[in-house]
Chain A
Amino acid sequence: MDQAVSREKESQAIHMLRKGLATGFPIMLGYLPIALTYGVLARQTGLSLVELTMMSGLVYAGASQFMAVNMIAVSASAMEIIIATFVLNFRHFVMSLSFMNRLRNVERKWKLPLSLGLTDESFAVSAFHPKEANQKNGAYFYLGIFVMAYFSWVSGSLLGGVLGDVIPANLSQSMGIALYAMFIGLLVPSVKKNLRVGLIAVIAMLINFACVEIGMSSGWAIVVGTILGGAAGIFLLKEEVE
């Protein structure tokens, strides 16, 4: 009897994990070409396969890794690179705050691994699937998304370092649209349901754009755009919004 119950629990967890992996699949499409490019570039800059894969595994932040590789190429100091990384990735603080607030009902043991795996993309996909946070075994759903993203990024980096330029240049350039298309694909259905959501996004876009125009670094511009755009939500959103 007990065994049957635990088996059912297990299969529920596996079901949620599978669902998460499938939901995270678009992230793989977006990550692979970028990770391959990163691997190639890092290898050309002189990082060993171990170093470039380790960077993907431990830092796990695409934009920062590209920047670091460029800075290593011009022999910037470690401290400069670390500070630039912090600035560029500080937006994850804001995103993690929003995500963790959604996960209040999720068991505590899941929160550390989930927050460590937060990226722009894993956050975006998870945030647009909020209802699983309150379902049984919901943590497995998010785990699936995060594992899919992490695996794509790290293995793609290694593959890029090993294989070199395997994707034709114009195809990999075209694939640069993938993550933007995914963001749009996530946003549009919500905008169709509630136009105010679109207004929040547009406000954030304009603030971000204005900050870049006045010479702010892109890292801070995204932080300011996200925080102020989100603040518009205080007035535009009702108590509970899907």
Chain B
Amino acid sequence: MIILTIIGMSLATMIPRIIPGFLVDKLQFRPWVNRWLNAIPYAALGALIFPGILSVIPEQPFIGIIGGLVAIVLAYFGLNVVLVVLGSILAVFLLTI
């Protein structure tokens, strides 16, 4: 039963992932559509960051915000993404002990 569920879930995640590859092969997009698609990464990151970041520590949304602000500052000063991640984990860790 669980195996069937897994296979069904697998199809449900695979199909949306692979269809665009075939679509893009068949279609040439107008420039405005290309601008739209090129903006998707920025929009996706925005939507993935907020409001999800508020629930890092579900009872204390401000901790997620502070972790995010630390990440912004570290990234602003040009630190490598790995260091941004580690710094932000450290900040949240210090706030939760």
Contacts and interface: CB of A to CB of B under 8 A. Distances in A.
A231 B32 CA distance: 9
A146 B68 CA distance: 25
A4 interface: no
Q: Which of A51, A174, A204 has the most CB of B within 10 A?
A: A174
Interface in B78-97: 78-79, 81-82, 84-93, 96-97
Interface residues of B, number: 73
Interface stretch (A120-128, A137-145, A153-161): A120-128
A203 interface: yes
A132 to B, nearest CB: 14
A234 B35 contact: yes
A233 B96 contact: no
Contacts of A16: none
B46 A204 contact: yes
Chain A interface SS verdict (over half): helix
Contacts of A205: 46-47, 49-51
A170 interface: yes
Given A101-B37, A185-B84, A205-B49, A58 B7 contact: yes
Contact of B29 (A101, A120, A175, A218): A101
Interface in A179-223: 180-190, 192, 197-198, 200-205, 207-209, 212, 218, 221-222
Interface of A: 25-26, 29-30, 47, 51, 54-55, 58-61, 64, 68, 72, 78-79, 81-83, 85-86, 89-104, 108, 111-112, 115-116, 118, 120, 123-124, 127-128, 170-171, 173-178, 180-190, 192, 197-198, 200-205, 207-209, 212, 218, 221-222, 225-234, 236-237, 239, 241
Interface of B: 1-14, 16-21, 23-25, 29, 31-32, 34-53, 56-57, 64, 67-68, 70-72, 74-76, 78-79, 81-82, 84-93, 96-97
Given A29-B86, A204-B42, 15 more contacts: A29-B82, A51-B6, A82-B5, A93-B17, A98-B37, A101-B20, A120-B44, A173-B57, A174-B93, A180-B68, A197-B42, A229-B47, A231-B39, A233-B42, A239-B31
